[in-house]
Amino acid sequence: MSALRAAVVGGGIIGAATARRLTECGATVTVFEKERDLAAHQTGHNSGVVHAGLYYTPGSLKARLCRRGVELLRDYTAERNLPYEECGKLVVALDDSELGRLDAITARATENGVPGIRRIGPNEIEAIEPRARGIAALHSPHTAIVDYVAITTALAGDVTAAGGTIRTGTEVTELITRGDEVLVGTRSGTDAFDLVITCAGLQSDRLARAAGDAATPRIVPFFGDYYLLRPELSTTVRGLIYPVPDPRYPFLGVHLTKRIDGSIMLGPNAFLSPGREAYDRRSGSARDLWEALAFPGFARFAVRNVPAALRELRTAVSTREFVVEAAKYVPGLTVADAVRGPRGIRAQAMNADGSLEDDFVVTGHGRLVHLRNAPSPGATSSMAIAEYLVDAALERVGR
């Protein structure tokens, strides 16, 4: 039997992991990435957290692939001598109203098999994070941080070492199924493959729709700004300090994160982005913004989430309000302690009724497989998502 000709569209960490998994299964692989560099979008604009699996509904794809993904990432970074630091995480309750939700997270984390977790009180919070304050917390000692760009580069190196091809600066413009082949069109021509898996992140819905997939879920981009504590304050936080999620809000809110380079990030917030790739705060895309605003699902989402929008708007326009949110967990932080950091853009999949897709979503038909939604913990789960996608794809083609 001849080697399977496979293509992966998207050169973020999930695309690179999927390509590597295909090579392990004996396929000849080509990766198409429209940017000049790999990991140019969500992979290269996140905080680098390896999530332990605290929040996710037990039995969901998120829960299962997150726990599997942590194991695979930890082993891979050790194998490749890449940085992996278990700095630990606190989910902090500020008052009695949050204790019930903290209990629920503890129960979920326990059911998901997250190792080492325990409920702690104010004295233990202070022992773990001397500057943090709260009435109770869930401590996850094995939550880690990594460099996802470095991991993506290593995964891509494995692909080329196995005979695969990485085509950066090559945007896929069409996907056409013709008999037992899928034609991948780019500006430089058309190539035929036996199997195509798309992992296109912020462009995932457009690519899937163009290939004949369903119109929804639709990607609505939300930017997330970060601030950095000044370098001399880098010892202020030892690990990760997170709020207890509030079901009234669709997004988590500002938190504090140690990065693998030792710097401390505050954020992110979440607000409708003027473009799917508008990382420069002065840039935007009329097409992207119009598509988001004209999508009926967004109007329904916005009407239901006015309080959340107001909260996020305050942090989007005011550095002071942004730092105030972080200072709820680490009292004493001031505007003078923070400098503006990078911006990330979340590829948020939204349904026509205005609901957000919470779990990973995989669709497609025939020899085409589309990853339509991979929110956090997408990067953490990347190698496990790759296993899931490739297993599903190979089953479709009878391999």
CA angle 320, 322, 326 (to 5 degrees): 110
42 token code pair = 């969500």
108 token code pair = 């979920």
Of how many residues is the chain composed? 399
Residue 396's pLDDT is 86
Q: What is 219-351's CATH number?
A: 3.30.9
The string over 121-130, giving b where at least 16 C-beta atoms fall within 10 Å of a residue's C-beta and e elsewhere, is eeeebeebbe
Do 199 and 18 meet the contact criterion of CB atoms below 8 Å apart? Answer: yes
pLDDT digit of tens for each residue in the chain (399 aa)? 689 999 999 999 999 999 999 999 999 999 999 999 999 999 999 999 999 999 999 999 999 999 999 999 999 999 999 999 999 999 999 999 999 999 999 999 999 999 999 999 999 999 999 999 999 999 999 999 999 999 999 999 999 999 999 999 999 999 999 999 999 999 999 999 999 999 999 999 999 999 999 999 999 999 999 999 999 999 999 999 999 999 888 999 999 999 999 999 999 999 999 999 999 999 999 999 999 999 999 999 999 999 999 999 999 999 999 999 999 999 999 999 999 999 999 999 999 999 999 999 999 999 999 999 999 999 999 999 999 999 999 998 887
HSE of 151, CA atoms in CB hemisphere, 13 A: 30
Domain ranges of the chain: 5-46+149-217+358-396, 89-141, 219-351
Rounded to whole angstroms, how far apart are CA atoms 116 and 39? 32
Rounded to whole angstroms, how far apart are CA atoms 207 and 372? 10
- The pairing of strands 271-272 and 218-229 is antiparallel
5-46+149-217+358-396 folds as FAD/NAD(P)-binding domain (3.50.50)
